[in-house]
Protein backbone atom coordinates (compact mmCIF):
# COMPACT_ATOMS: atom_id res chain seq x y z
CA UNK A 1 0.00 0.00 0.00
CA UNK A 2 1.34 3.43 -0.95
CA UNK A 3 1.77 6.13 1.67
CA UNK A 4 -0.36 9.25 1.21
CA UNK A 5 1.27 12.07 -0.71
CA UNK A 6 2.53 14.97 1.41
CA UNK A 7 0.38 18.12 1.39
CA UNK A 8 2.05 21.13 -0.26
CA UNK A 9 0.97 24.69 0.49
CA UNK A 10 1.67 27.81 -1.60
CA UNK A 11 5.08 28.36 0.00
CA UNK A 12 6.08 24.76 -0.72
CA UNK A 13 4.97 25.13 -4.34
CA UNK A 14 7.02 28.32 -4.75
CA UNK A 15 10.13 26.63 -3.34
CA UNK A 16 9.69 23.62 -5.60
CA UNK A 17 9.15 25.76 -8.71
CA UNK A 18 12.00 28.15 -7.85
CA UNK A 19 14.42 25.22 -7.63
CA UNK A 20 13.78 24.52 -11.32
CA UNK A 21 13.22 28.04 -12.66
CA UNK A 22 15.16 28.90 -15.79
CA UNK A 23 16.14 25.33 -16.60
CA UNK A 24 15.30 23.94 -19.99
CA UNK A 25 13.11 20.82 -20.06
CA UNK A 26 14.92 17.55 -20.66
CA UNK A 27 14.09 15.32 -23.65
CA UNK A 28 11.77 13.22 -21.45
CA UNK A 29 9.47 16.07 -20.38
CA UNK A 30 9.91 18.49 -23.30
CA UNK A 31 6.50 17.45 -24.68
CA UNK A 32 4.90 18.72 -21.46
CA UNK A 33 6.00 22.35 -21.74
CA UNK A 34 2.59 23.85 -21.06
CA UNK A 35 2.30 27.18 -19.23
CA UNK A 36 -1.50 26.80 -19.13
CA UNK A 37 -3.63 23.70 -18.58
CA UNK A 38 -3.47 21.19 -21.42
CA UNK A 39 -4.55 17.60 -21.90
CA UNK A 40 -1.81 15.16 -21.01
CA UNK A 41 -0.73 13.84 -24.43
CA UNK A 42 -2.03 10.34 -25.03
CA UNK A 43 1.36 9.29 -26.37
CA UNK A 44 3.26 10.45 -23.28
CA UNK A 45 4.56 7.59 -21.16
CA UNK A 46 3.00 8.38 -17.77
CA UNK A 47 5.55 6.34 -15.82
CA UNK A 48 8.07 9.07 -16.70
CA UNK A 49 6.37 11.24 -14.07
CA UNK A 50 6.48 10.65 -10.32
CA UNK A 51 3.87 11.90 -7.83
CA UNK A 52 5.56 13.97 -5.10
CA UNK A 53 2.74 15.84 -3.36
CA UNK A 54 -0.87 16.93 -3.29
CA UNK A 55 -2.69 20.25 -3.03
CA UNK A 56 -5.86 18.56 -1.85
CA UNK A 57 -6.33 19.16 1.87
CA UNK A 58 -6.87 15.83 3.64
CA UNK A 59 -9.63 17.33 5.83
CA UNK A 60 -11.63 18.80 2.91
CA UNK A 61 -13.99 16.16 1.53
CA UNK A 62 -15.54 18.44 -1.11
CA UNK A 63 -13.13 21.15 -2.30
CA UNK A 64 -14.70 24.24 -3.85
CA UNK A 65 -15.33 24.53 -7.59
CA UNK A 66 -14.84 28.31 -7.38
CA UNK A 67 -11.95 29.62 -9.48
CA UNK A 68 -9.59 32.52 -8.67
CA UNK A 69 -9.05 35.04 -11.49
CA UNK A 70 -8.57 38.53 -10.00
CA UNK A 71 -6.92 39.87 -13.18
CA UNK A 72 -9.66 38.61 -15.53
CA UNK A 73 -7.84 35.48 -16.68
CA UNK A 74 -9.66 32.21 -17.26
CA UNK A 75 -8.90 28.60 -16.47
CA UNK A 76 -7.05 28.03 -19.75
CA UNK A 77 -4.90 31.16 -19.59
CA UNK A 78 -1.14 30.76 -19.28
CA UNK A 79 -1.25 33.82 -16.98
CA UNK A 80 -3.91 32.36 -14.66
CA UNK A 81 -2.79 32.29 -11.04
CA UNK A 82 -1.93 28.99 -9.42
CA UNK A 83 -4.21 29.33 -6.39
CA UNK A 84 -4.04 26.20 -4.22
CA UNK A 85 -7.28 26.96 -2.34
CA UNK A 86 -9.30 27.22 -5.57
CA UNK A 87 -10.38 24.93 -8.40
CA UNK A 88 -8.75 23.07 -10.08
CA UNK A 89 -5.61 23.40 -7.97
CA UNK A 90 -7.38 22.23 -4.81
CA UNK A 91 -7.82 18.86 -6.57
CA UNK A 92 -4.28 18.61 -7.98
CA UNK A 93 -1.34 16.41 -7.38
CA UNK A 94 2.21 17.62 -7.89
CA UNK A 95 4.34 15.48 -10.18
CA UNK A 96 7.91 15.68 -11.38
CA UNK A 97 9.80 14.38 -14.35
CA UNK A 98 11.60 11.17 -13.35
CA UNK A 99 14.66 12.28 -15.35
CA UNK A 100 15.14 15.96 -14.41
CA UNK A 101 12.66 16.59 -11.55
CA UNK A 102 10.86 19.41 -13.42
CA UNK A 103 7.58 19.96 -11.50
CA UNK A 104 4.07 19.84 -12.94
CA UNK A 105 0.51 20.05 -11.64
CA UNK A 106 -1.99 17.37 -12.67
CA UNK A 107 -5.68 16.82 -12.15
CA UNK A 108 -8.36 14.75 -13.78
CA UNK A 109 -11.34 16.51 -15.37
CA UNK A 110 -14.52 14.48 -15.15
CA UNK A 111 -16.91 15.65 -17.87
CA UNK A 112 -20.31 14.25 -18.70
CA UNK A 113 -18.99 11.82 -21.30
CA UNK A 114 -15.23 11.84 -20.82
CA UNK A 115 -12.36 11.74 -18.37
CA UNK A 116 -9.32 13.85 -19.26
CA UNK A 117 -6.00 14.12 -17.47
CA UNK A 118 -4.72 17.69 -17.49
CA UNK A 119 -1.25 19.01 -16.80
CA UNK A 120 0.36 22.41 -16.24
CA UNK A 121 3.91 23.52 -15.55
CA UNK A 122 4.54 24.80 -12.06
CA UNK A 123 5.60 28.48 -12.26
CA UNK A 124 6.64 30.11 -8.96
CA UNK A 125 5.68 33.59 -10.24
CA UNK A 126 2.05 32.50 -10.64
CA UNK A 127 1.53 30.87 -7.24
CA UNK A 128 -1.05 32.95 -5.34
Question: Per residue in 77-118, pLDDT tens?
Answer: 999 999 999 999 999 999 999 999 999 999 998 877 888 999
**Does 79 map to a domain?**
yes
**Does 4 map to a domain?**
no
**Does 2 map to a domain?**
no
Note the pLDDT of residue 61. Answer: 87
The number of CA neighbours under 13 Å toward the Cβ of 84 is: 21
**Could you list the residue range(s) of the whole structural domain that residue 114 is in?**
10-126
**Does 71 map to a domain?**
yes
**Does 5 map to a domain?**
no
**Does 85 map to a domain?**
yes
**Does 3 map to a domain?**
no
Note the pLDDT of residue 1. Answer: 54
CA nearest to 26, candidates 124, 92, 104, 88: 104
Cβ neighbour number for residue 97 with a 10 Å cutoff:
19
**Does 107 map to a domain?**
yes
Number of domains in the chain: 1
Tell me the CA distances in angstroms from 51 to 5, 7, 80, one per residue in order.
8, 12, 23
What proportion of the chain, given as a percentage, has pLDDT over 70? 98
Model confidence, pTM: 0.90
Mean of pLDDT over the chain? 91
Amino acid sequence: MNAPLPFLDAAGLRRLAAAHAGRKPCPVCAALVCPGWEALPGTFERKQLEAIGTLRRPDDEEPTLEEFHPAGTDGWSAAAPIAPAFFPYNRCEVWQCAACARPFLRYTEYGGYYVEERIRELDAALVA
